[in-house]
């Protein structure tokens, strides 16, 4: 039997944010899988994603991304060193660069990766917007542009925090179709979401 290739492995992970304590959380996510974290506001869904991304310190437990253990403390690798694509709940597009320029900075430095920017932008219905700056986009367009920048980043793991919050039904369908395609190509997706489609796997993060 072929062993599952893990994109993410959490072992008794504990994260603190202010007075809130999240965890311990034990979770495995294999390449090709998607998992939505659900739960009430304040339960720690975003905090868990931030900790995995290296944007919030881990108090205890273990974390491995694509088979590589992530150390804690001052020696912990930065977000950009972890082999993941990140899309936060707060919009994080850089205001002084076009969407295309931002994606080119995030993409691997090869022609094929840069060519994919246009193809994925077309899937997300923003191919005529990528030369614009974030302030020139609608809320839904900006959110899809941020997903584009996240998925063009090299790495097995995608971390998405409420990725559909600004989308209508068509926009969400386009995003979900893209995520399904990427997982079939060898990515894995962990997201926080209040609303999860019936055919998608989910697990609940309890109240703090």
Query: Side by side, which strands form the sheet with 34-38?
Result: 84-87, 157-161, 188-192, 34-38, 202-204
* Mean pLDDT within 163-184: 95
pLDDT at res. 111:
75
Q: Characterize the bridge pairing of strands 188-192 and 34-38.
A: parallel
Considering the domain 6-204, what is its CATH architecture?
Answer: 3-Layer(aba) Sandwich (3.40)
Please report which confidence band the pLDDT of residue 23 belongs to, taking 50, 70 and 90 as the band edges.
confident
Phi and psi dihedrals of 146, rounded to 5?
-70, -35
Alpha-carbon dihedral angle through residues 42, 46, 48, 53, given to the nearest 10 degrees: -160
pLDDT of residue 123: 96
pLDDT in tens, 94-105: 999 999 999 999
SS3 of residue 196 by DSSP: coil
pLDDT of amino acid 2: 62
- 81-90, 107-116, 190-199: least confident range: 107-116
Residue 19 has what pLDDT? 84
> Buried b vs exposed e over 120-140: b needs ≥16 C-beta within 10 Å?
bbebbebeebbebbbeebeeb
Q: Tell me, what's the pLDDT at 110?
A: 73
Q: What is the pLDDT of residue 121?
A: 96
Query: Does residue 44 register a pLDDT over 70?
Result: yes
């Amino acid at each position: 039997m072929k062993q599952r290739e893990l994109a993410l492995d959490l072992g008794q992970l504990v994260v603190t944010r202010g007075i809130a304590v999240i965890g311990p959380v034990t979770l495995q996510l294999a390449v090709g899988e998607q998992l939505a974290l659900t739960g009430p506001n304040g339960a720690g869904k975003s905090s868990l994603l931030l900790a995995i991304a290296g944007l919030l310190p881990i108090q205890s437990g273990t974390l491995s991304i694509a088979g590589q253990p992530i150390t804690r403390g001052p020696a912990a690798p930065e977000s950009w060193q972890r082999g993941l694509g990140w899309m936060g709940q707060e919009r994080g597009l850089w205001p002084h660069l076009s969407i295309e320029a931002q994606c080119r900075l995030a993409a691997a430095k090869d022609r094929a990766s840069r060519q994919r920017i246009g193809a994925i932008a077309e899937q997300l219905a923003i191919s005529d917007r990528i030369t614009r700056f974030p302030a020139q986009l609608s809320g839904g367009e900006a959110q899809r542009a941020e997903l584009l920048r996240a998925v063009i980043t090299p790495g097995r793991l995608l971390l998405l925090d409420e990725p559909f919050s600004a989308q209508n039904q068509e926009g969400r369908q386009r995003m979900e179709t893209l995520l399904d395609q990427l997982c079939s190509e060898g990515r894995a997706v962990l997201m926080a979401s209040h609303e999860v489609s019936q055919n998608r796997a989910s697990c609940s993060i309890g109240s703090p």
